Amino acid sequence: MLSGYEDLNFIGSATVLADTFAAVRQTRPDIVLLDHSAGLKAVFEFIADVKNATGTSQPVLWVHDLADVDCFRALRCGARGILKKTLPVTALIDCCRAVAGGNVWIEGSPEHSSDGADRRSAPRLTPREKQIVSQICEGQKNKEIAQALSITAGTVKVHLMHIFEKTGVKDRFELAIQGRKLLGLDGSSAPLGIPKMGPVSEDGVEPALKYLQLQGE
């Protein structure tokens, strides 16, 4: 399936989540494609373990469908892509490349829709509002944001209301996906809290991505 893509290197697959963690730690793939059939709780825990153990392996969740609240939970655990199984192979390739480039990839999210992009292209956010957007991108809850910024949870809610009004986003899930664009971080810089994918060789050419597919139990 990936033989025609020189920048993607398939390094293996596994069928049981319990047997895959050691393989991920050993091979440290750039992208880990996870089937959700093992159950969301187990998959979310696995994603968090992978992020804590490797730091550079970026999980992509491969699903039939996923509710917005579960999408946000996946992002909070450390997932950097959510891909529907019904999409063509080209979407899988686009997802892997986007995640490897330091982006969050969710089909149908504001990052992949031009609708309303103009009205959100340059919102005038205050420094405090930008801090809160940054925290939302990291998956932080209101109480955690309040503690980090030494303000009250009620003040966080007020700031969020102003951010929603200024940017046109409808909820914190959309804000988490759209955050890089809102903060002007689209481009070469790494996303908030996420290391840039893959080392660059001395000649300036990035190596092919290591890619590991993990299927659920």
Question: Is the predicted pLDDT of residue 39 greater than 80, yes or no?
Answer: yes
- Sorted by sequence, the CB contacts under 8 Å of residue 85 that are 6+ apart come out as 62, 63, 64
Q: What is the pLDDT of residue 76?
A: 79
Q: Which CATH class name applies to 10-113?
A: alpha beta
Comparing 198 with 69, the larger pLDDT belongs to 69
Cα separation, 91 vs 75, whole angstroms: 19
- In whole angstroms, what separates CA 36 from the centre of its chain? 16
- Sorted by sequence, the CB contacts under 8 Å of residue 161 that are 6+ apart come out as none
Cα separation, 47 vs 58, whole angstroms: 9
CATH architecture of 120-182: Orthogonal Bundle (1.10)
Q: What is the pLDDT of residue 128?
A: 94
> pLDDT tens across 133-165, in order?
988 887 788 999 999 999 999 999 999 999 988
Q: What is the pLDDT of residue 158?
A: 92
Q: What is the pLDDT of residue 140?
A: 84
**Averaged over 38-55, what is the pLDDT?**
86
Q: Provide the residue ranges of all domains of the chain, joining segments of one domain with +.
A: 10-113, 120-182
> pLDDT tens across 91-136, in order?
888 888 888 888 888 765 544 444 444 444 556 889 999 999 988 8
Question: Is the predicted pLDDT of residue 203 greater than 80, yes or no?
Answer: no
First to last CA, the chain: 22
User: What b/e sequence results for 16-42 when a residue is b if at least 16 CB atoms lie within 10 Å of its CB, and e otherwise?
Assistant: ebeebbebbeeebbbbbbbbbebebee
**Averaged over 199-204, what is the pLDDT?**
36
Is 75 in a helix, a strand, or coil? helix
Is 161 in a helix, a strand, or coil? helix
